[in-house]
């Protein structure tokens, strides 16, 4: 965890996002699995999601979002010291997708690595990056949340295939003396519940075989009710902690950006925090759950739409497989 007094001097100077052109609506899904637009909308709040093209990968979407963030920061890729990609859908088991992004951007000086914390990945990357900057190790860091979840979704499972989409979001962090930036962060995990949201196949525990493919274990598996219960509890607790540690009340927050997984989860967290509907930013209906890209894309859109102005306080909350979770208060 990080304390408020440690975190001055690191600023987010650029953000960017990318979503694929192809739109998959609830009506489209009606022809794929046994579901309806009404069933999906009432249970999740999702109306459509974006699907990557065959020639689009996590690395290419990550690079597209990164170029926008770098342009906003007015930073040449050659000046980057570090690239962190948060993803659960890397282009391949190795090398790191971050190295592929480094190559595509031409960021020859940058170190690069991947981070796997599922839907919480962008907040984990944010905390790591600002710690490097505050410590004086690096000056310019690019963090990215990017996913091609369509590649690990079981399109025969109506309970999961309706939830997820593809996309990427990026942010540039730089050393800025006197900048407020991240005010407080709380990260957490609970490995005892690792089994309720996982992709069982593909690792060293269950490598790919003909049988494993036939058993469909190379797809995302989720126990929805357990995920809901744990997500609401963990994100609410983390959010309350960072508000307390930053000396703020919920009324001081201009914009709350929760992980865009399910409207019921978002509403439950908002109620428990005492937030107004106007404070909570939602783009779930357009993109579904994009895992590590979720809060990054939402942050970029909130800024593009003028929801957040310079000096405003932002509360970002995430929860994902692991189980992992995080909450961050930013001063923009």
**List 230, 255, 259, 283, catalytic entry:** 259
Backbone angles phi, psi at 247, to 5 degrees: 70, 30
Sheet holding 313-320, edge to edge: 181-189, 324-331, 313-320, 255-258
Q: Among 14, 27, 9, 19, which residue's Cα sits nearest to residue 287?
A: 19
8 A C-beta contact, residue 128 and residue 84: yes
Residue 288: helix, strand or coil by DSSP?
Answer: coil
| 289 flagged as catalytic | yes
**How far, rounded to the nearest angstrom, does the alpha carbon of residue 22 sit from its chain's CA centroid?**
20
CB 47 within 8 A of CB 286: yes
138 flagged as catalytic: no
Residue 308: how many CB atoms within 10 A of its CB?
A: 19
Q: Which of 140, 230, 283, 289 is catalytic?
A: 289
Cβ within 8 Å of residue 38, ≥6 positions away: none
| Residue 148 structure tokens | 């091609």
Which of 10, 99, 119, 161 is the catalytic position?
A: 119
Report DSSP state, residue 81.
S
**Nearest of 121, 103, 110 to residue 169 by alpha carbon:** 121
Question: Is there a contact between 328 and 242 (Cβ–Cβ < 8 Å)?
Answer: yes
99 belongs to the catalytic site:
no
> Hey, which residues are catalytic here?
119, 259, 289
């Amino acid at each position: 965890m990080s304390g408020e007094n440690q975190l001055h001097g690191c600023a987010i100077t650029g953000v960017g996002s990318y979503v694929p052109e192809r739109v998959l609506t609830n009506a489209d899904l009606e022809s794929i699995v046994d579901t309806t637009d009404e069933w999906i909308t009432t249970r999740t709040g999702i109306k459509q999601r974006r699907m990557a093209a065959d020639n689009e990968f996590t690395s290419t979407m990550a690079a597209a979002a990164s170029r926008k963030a770098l342009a906003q920061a007015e930073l040449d890729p050659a000046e980057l010291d570090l690239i962190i990609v948060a993803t659960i859908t890397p282009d391949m088991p190795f090398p790191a997708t971050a190295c592929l992004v480094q190559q595509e951007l031409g960021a020859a000086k940058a170190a690069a690595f991947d981070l796997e914390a599922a839907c919480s990945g962008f907040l984990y990357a944010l905390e790591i990056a600002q710690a490097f900057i505050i410590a004086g190790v690096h000056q310019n860091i690019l963090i990215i949340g990017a996913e091609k979840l369509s590649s690990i979704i079981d399109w025969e499972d109506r309970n999961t295939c309706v939830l997820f989409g593809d996309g990427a979001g990026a942010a540039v962090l730089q050393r800025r003396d006197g900048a407020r930036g991240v005010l407080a962060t709380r990260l957490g995990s609970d490995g005892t519940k690792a089994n309720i949201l996982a992709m069982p196949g593909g690792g060293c525990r269950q490598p790919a075989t003909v049988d494993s493919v036939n058993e469909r274990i190379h797809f995302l598996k989720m126990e929805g009710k357990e995920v809901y219960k744990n997500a609401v509890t963990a994100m609410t607790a983390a959010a309350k902690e960072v508000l307390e540690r930053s000396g703020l009340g919920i009324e001081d927050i201009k914009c709350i950006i929760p992980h865009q997984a399910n409207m019921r989860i978002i509403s439950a967290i908002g109620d428990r925090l005492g937030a107004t509907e106007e404070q909570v930013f939602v783009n779930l209906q357009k993109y579904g759950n994009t895992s590590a890209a979720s809060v990054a894309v939402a942050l970029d859109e909130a800024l593009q739409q003028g929801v957040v102005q310079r000096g405003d306080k932002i509360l970002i909350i995430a929860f994902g497989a692991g189980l992992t979770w995080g909450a961050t208060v930013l001063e923009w």
